Amino acid sequence: MRQFHALKIAAKRHETRDSVRLALDVPDELQETFQFLPGQHLPIRVERNGTELRRTYSICSRPGEFPLEIGVRVQPGGRFSEFADKELEAGDTIEVMPPFGQFHADIDADAQKSYLGFAAGSGITPILSIMSTILEREPNSRFALFYGNRRQVTTMFIDDLYALKNRYPDRVQLQFVFSREDQEFPIAAGRLDGDKVREVYDAMCRGTQPSEAFVCGPDSMIEDVTAALVELGMDEGSVHSERFGVPRQSSAPDVADTASGAATITVIMDGHKKSFDMADSDPNIVDAAAEHGIELPYSCKGGVCATCRCHVREGEVAMATNYGLEPWEVEKGYVLACQSRPLSAAVTLDYDKA
């Protein structure tokens, strides 16, 4: 059920001076609900001074292990992250939706794969979960991580990564890249752009055939890394990515603006059906539903997190932007409700279809 549950903060500690790690207690009766695949994230909701804040944070711990852990980079002026940094304490409660998201690794104990990870800044959070789970549960697979940061002192999870390297010395390659610090070796200096990917690939992956790559960071980094990996011979379908932050504005026309907007919308959730009439003036289906007292899942409302993902069972909608769905999902009829307006007079959205 995609609804919020109150979870208690079991522990809080500063990862770096500008990031915190929160451990969330999951009571026994909710542990089944909070099972996850490595790489998935948690939609979070808190109330601050009468305003509701929603954010999405990736899980950095391994599936099956409780408490669940997330990493929060503290952004200057970031309302949730500053609240997490300065005010949230162990024992406090926050509202959390069950884990979600298509960016994940499928673990196969018999696999003998060679994985690559590319993370920029707090993009390490889901990749740490993926990497540590693969190393623990695929004993014949290897993982090479390339991790870009401005400086070592702001590098999240550095101790966890060295611990993995120490524990699995023959199966882990670790290359940090710093953009604002002098480095003894040129390979460790700069940003994770296309040239750097070619450089580290040449130096560390020569003679291997990477099976899959996981990439997490800002929009431009994902585009650069993916393009370079494809150029180096990887199949695009083997390069999985998750972006954070606000993507670059697309110059594509805003198709949702051309949709009429007026329609009867039916939503199916947890086996129940509800309908409402959406007006031409409603900006998107999530907001229109809220006008009628129907709470649909959402977090970023920016087309990124995919918390609002659902399947169009009947009718047609147009999305304004989509940074959260893979091409195959769009082809199969999944949409982001926070970005959608109807194109047909009746639309049925199924939130139960996985």
What are the residues binding ligand FES (CB under 6 A)? 298-308, 324, 336, 338
DSSP H helices, 144-284, are: 158-167, 194-204, 219-231, 255-258
At position 241, the amino acid (one-letter code) is S
Give dist(CA 349, CA 347) in Å, integer. 7
The least distance separating ligand FES from the CB of residue 335, rounded to whole angstroms, comes to 10
CB nearer to ligand FES: pick between 192 and 300: 300
Burial call 149-188: b when 16+ CB within 10 Å, e when fewer:
beeeebbbbbebbeebeeebeebbbbbbbbbeeeeeeebb
| 327: preceding bond cis by omega (within 30 degrees) | no
The least distance separating ligand FES from the CB of residue 203, rounded to whole angstroms, comes to 37
The least distance separating ligand FES from the CB of residue 286, rounded to whole angstroms, comes to 7
The least distance separating ligand FES from the CB of residue 349, rounded to whole angstroms, comes to 13
Residue 323, burial from CB neighbour count under 10 angstroms (0-12, 13-18, 19+) = buried
Indicate the angle between helix axes 124-137 and 158-167, nearest 10 degrees: 20
CB within 8 Å of 252: residues ≥ 6 apart: none
- By beta-carbon distance, which residue lies closest to ligand FES? 338
CB nearer to ligand FES: pick between 175 and 322: 322
CB nearer to ligand FES: pick between 8 and 79: 79
CB nearer to ligand FES: pick between 43 and 117: 43
Give dist(CA 131, CA 117) in Å, integer. 8
Q: Which residue has the tokens 């594509």?
A: 252
At position 63, the amino acid (one-letter code) is P
CB nearer to ligand FES: pick between 156 and 285: 285
The least distance separating ligand FES from the CB of residue 296, rounded to whole angstroms, comes to 9
The least distance separating ligand FES from the CB of residue 199, rounded to whole angstroms, comes to 34
CB nearer to ligand FES: pick between 97 and 172: 97
